[in-house]
């Protein structure tokens, strides 16, 4: 079975940018960091590209390296390669989780989310997780899910959309 990011968590970021990473997300980050061993800080990559609008995406070291390799395989000189590189590589940042399970989220990243301190929503998406300002997450993502479900009808089973 593949280890991935699942679930929703709401946690606080303080005025210095310190925030805890949910414990189950830390386990996935540890498993996805080939350089990590007990006692070392686990690494992660935060992507803040313009395409993400009001959220940040967080990847394990392994997934981020895989993404970089896929971008490198795109044809050189391809304008799409340059733009994807800008959004996913240039607009990314390596961070480490400290011994207390926290990471310092720089002010520029918090400003992208629209807060300097307050509540954040973490949303597991299997291969990565998203970080949102809690109010923004509830009003945008939550409403989109409700609207989508309303269009499907009462007997809708989301598992019916899977191939199995």
Domain map of the chain by residue range? 8-153
pTM, two decimals, is 0.89
pLDDT at 71: 96
Give the CATH H-level superfamily of domain 8-153. Answer: Transcriptional regulator MraZ domain (3.40.1550.20)
For residue 33, what is the DSSP state? -
Is 9 within 8 Å of 122 (Cβ atoms)? yes
CA 163 to chain centre: 26
pLDDT at 7: 94
Number of H helices, E strands in the chain: 6, 8
pLDDT at 1: 38
Q: What is the pairing mode between strands 42-47 and 18-20?
A: unpaired
Q: What is the pairing mode between strands 118-124 and 129-133?
A: antiparallel
pLDDT in tens, 117-140: 899 999 999 999 999 999 998 888
10-residue mean pLDDT series, the chain (164 residues)? 84 94 95 90 94 94 96 94 94 94 92 89 95 90 83 84 76
Starting at the edge strand found earlier in the chain, the sheet holding 8-13 runs: 92-97, 42-47, 55-59, 129-133, 118-124, 8-13, 18-20, 102-104
138 CB contacts (<8 Å, ≥6 apart)? 121
pLDDT at 30: 94
């Amino acid at each position: 079975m593949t280890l991935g990011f699942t679930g929703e968590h709401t946690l606080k970021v303080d005025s210095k940018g310190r925030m805890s990473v949910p414990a189950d997300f830390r386990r996935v980050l540890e498993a996805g960091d080939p350089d990590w061993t007990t006692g070392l800080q686990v690494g992660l990559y935060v992507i803040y590209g313009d395409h993400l609008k009001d959220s940040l995406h967080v990847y394990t070291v392994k997934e981020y390296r895989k993404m970089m390799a896929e971008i490198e395989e795109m044809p050189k000189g391809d304008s799409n390669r340059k733009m994807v590189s800008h959004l996913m590589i240039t607009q990314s940042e390596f961070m480490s989780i400290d011994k207390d399970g926290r990471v310092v989220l720089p002010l520029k990243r918090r400003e992208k989310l629209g807060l300097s301190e307050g509540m954040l929503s973490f949303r597991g998406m299997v291969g990565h997780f998203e970080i949102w300002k809690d109010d923004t997450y509830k009003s945008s993502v939550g409403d989109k899910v409700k609207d989508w479900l309303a269009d499907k009808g009462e007997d809708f089973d989301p598992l019916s959309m899977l191939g199995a």
